[in-house]
Structure 1
Amino acid sequence: MSEAQMPQTLDETAAAAFAEKAGAMLEAGAVAVMMSIGHRLGLFDLMAALPPSTSEAIAQRAALSERYVREWLAVMVTGRIVAYHPQTKTYHLPSEHAACLTRGAQLGNLAVYAQAVAMMGQMQERLIACMETGEGLAYGDYPCFHQMMAEDSGQTVVARLFDTILPLAEGTAERLATGIEVLDAGCGRGAALIEMARRYPASRFTGYDLCGDAIAFAKEAARKAGLDNIRFEQRDLTGYDEKARFDLITSFDAVHDQKDPQALARGLKGALRGGGVYLMQDIGGSARLENNLDFPFAPFLYAVSLCHCMPVSLGQGGLGLGTMWGWETAQSILDAAGFRSVERHVLPHDPMNVWFVARV
């Protein structure tokens, strides 16, 4: 009998410890889905502004069914998120917890990402089929995808756009104030571009995205903002080949799930005028699995990759590089595209992402 066939002695202590860990994972997954529901319904925001309150009072203020709210609160209490006072049958959200669970939260709103956990459950049957066939999916197959990405962008990009992100590309803010041509490639609902258009009226802004529903949302948002220096267009960036049109191009968490990231990088480089800048945000994990054991939210990001980023690339006939394609891959793609220089940055407020400033 070979060594590989020899029966293994069970370390019962280690087995029991892992069983406990696996049970904790099940609990955490259930709580994450309930966090998503609480975020979507505004319950965390409401409770952060209330004194200790009964389930009836919370439900009334939220215009929701009390029985459902009471059961949701039970998950939050046993999940150690909401505090419960049995004498008065009241609940409250401690300010220390609200600091990472509410819109505009001091530490960033982690409940935004709980929506991805809920989405994974909704996609389970489709993903099982994909794993059996090797086929991909389309952006439109995912419920509430653009809403979730817009919320993520709101706190990782838009909130720090002017004080932290644009200054990475030295001289860019000054050029925007004077007036330049700007493209956001993979703009989604366009929040970052709209804020730039509002801040820099002398510049002209264009947003391209594959998804028509996101572009429709962006157009309406720009109309409501009364902006006449911005336009959005539904466009597949496969084979993109505009020449020397823009002075600044941005991509915020949009390249790794493209059909062909290398071809896109070459196309974007060609679309820049002399002295132009490409500012690219993407996931900051490594291309090497062993380097990601301690990377923030690595299991979550690999799960998002399996459930979304890899399938949508494969669904376009693409490479399916996935969310954790690695900063090394991104760097090599930008280098191969022929940029004169490529700088890499990691920002304190956003440890999950990496920022590249590439110049022609």
Structure 2
Amino acid sequence: MACSDIIKISTEHADGEERYYVPEDRLPSLCVDTGGASAVWLYGLPVFANVQHQLEECFRADGPQGIPYEPYKELIQVRSKLFAGRFWPNLMKQLADNIPSLTSKLETGASILEIGCGSGDFMKTFARKFTKSQFFGIDSCSEAIKYASETAANDKISNVAFAEKDGQNLPSDWSGMYDYVITVKVIHDATDPKKMLSEIKRVLKPDGLASIIDLPMRSKVSENLHSPITNTVYTAGLFHCIPSSMFYGGPGLGPCWGVENMEELLATAGFKVKTILNEQIAHYVCTDK
């Protein structure tokens, strides 16, 4: 770590010994709760290493189509760590800034659905702040839903619930049920992104809106060369997002399939889209045309 200039070496000691230290300005970047994606994804490296040989087989002409979800189960906790620090509070602020009417709607009382909620951290964060609204998170991973439900119960959050459901096949009686639907870095993993977006549109109320949150990568690799998150995002896509999507018959879009492609897909699904970008996320604010 010293040779990589992550930590420093001090040699000015009477005993002549070398001592290692972390400069104060680097501490936030190395902590899980403040360090953002790069620090947290270190916890994902063992998971990626575990599937490397399976991934190599996928490149063979006669190899498997992809990798099933089971080897990636530990990523539930990695995702929870990834979003637990600054991400959720920052995202909530960005949502409020990007959608001026959202805060008042949540304060008055609204119905909110998150598709692909994982460990439920975002819904729980929302529910604590907006106690007059009802929050519902769904995910196809039973382990994630179990964790989300248990932690919500332990924290005594009464206005949030979770269930194991497929976001591409929502219940027929949900049509026009929700004021607001959100997905966070989910569409690029879906086995049928078009169907998921169609379902989101179906369950929204006539005046409802959706926030599709994904990565701000461009469709052309050459336009991603100088992004501060490029290396992390391409690595996660190669080792997880693409092979797991393709194993279940999905297109394997991956997190870097690009803003331009996402905008086209959202328009095809019948949404009017406003795109807001920063270095960390792309926020697609979607309303009915």
Q: Does TM, normalized by the shorter one, top 0.5?
A: yes
- For residues 76 and 262 of structure 2, the distance between their equivalents in structure 1, rounded to whole angstroms, comes to 23
Q: 3-state DSSP class of the match of 2:59?
A: helix
Per-residue deviation, 1:116: 3.4
* Alignment map for 1:41-190 (pairs within 5 Å): 76-86=1-11, 87-105=16-34, 108=36, 110-132=38-60, 133-142=63-72, 144-155=74-85, 157-190=87-120
Query: CA-to-partner distance for each residue in 1:299-343, whole Å, 9 max, x for gaps?
Result: 43222212111111112211111121111111112111112x211
Per-residue deviation, 1:156: 5.6
* Equivalence for 2:127: 197
Q: Is the 8 A contact 1:259 1:317 kept in 2?
A: yes
**Which residue among 275, 278, 281 is the counterpart of 1:344?**
275
Q: Is the 8 A contact 1:102 1:109 kept in 2?
A: no
- For residues 82 and 57 of structure 2, the distance between their equivalents in structure 1, rounded to whole angstroms, comes to 28
Q: Larger Cα Rg: Structure 1 or Structure 2? A: 1
* Equivalence for 2:136: 206
Per-residue deviation, 1:126: 1.3
* Equivalence for 2:179: 247
Q: 3-state DSSP class of the match of 1:110?
A: helix
* Equivalence for 1:308: 240
| TM-score normalised over the length of structure 1 | 0.73
**Which residue among 244, 257, 267 is the counterpart of 1:335?**
267
* Alignment map for 1:220-239 (pairs within 5 Å): 220-239=150-169
Q: Is the 8 A contact 1:205 1:230 kept in 2?
A: yes
Whichever structure has more helix as a proportion of its residues is 1
Q: Whose relative contact order is higher, 1 or 2, with alpha carbons under 8 Å and at least 6 apart?
A: 2
* Alignment map for 1:250-289 (pairs within 5 Å): 250-289=182-221
Structure 1, unmatched stretches of 5+, are: 1-75
User: For residue 191 of structure 2, what is the amino acid of its counterpart?
Assistant: K
Q: Is the 8 A contact 2:33 2:86 kept in 1?
A: no
Change (3 A) 1:110 1:288: closer
Say what the alpha-carbon RMSD is for the aligned residues: 1.9
- For residues 228 and 91 of structure 2, the distance between their equivalents in structure 1, rounded to whole angstroms, comes to 22
Q: 3-state DSSP class of the match of 2:176?
A: coil
Query: CA-to-partner distance for each residue in 1:23-49, whole Å, 9 max, x for gaps?
Result: xxxxxxxxxxxxxxxxxxxxxxxxxxx
Percent identity over the alignment?
A: 25
* Equivalence for 1:26: none
| TM-score normalised over the length of structure 2 | 0.90
Q: 3-state DSSP class of the match of 1:294?
A: coil
- For residues 166 and 192 of structure 1, the distance between their equivalents in structure 2, rounded to whole angstroms, comes to 14
Structure 2, unmatched stretches of 5+, are: none
Query: CA-to-partner distance for each residue in 1:229-260, whole Å, 9 max, x for gaps?
Result: 11100112233353111000011111101001
Per-residue deviation, 1:128: 1.2
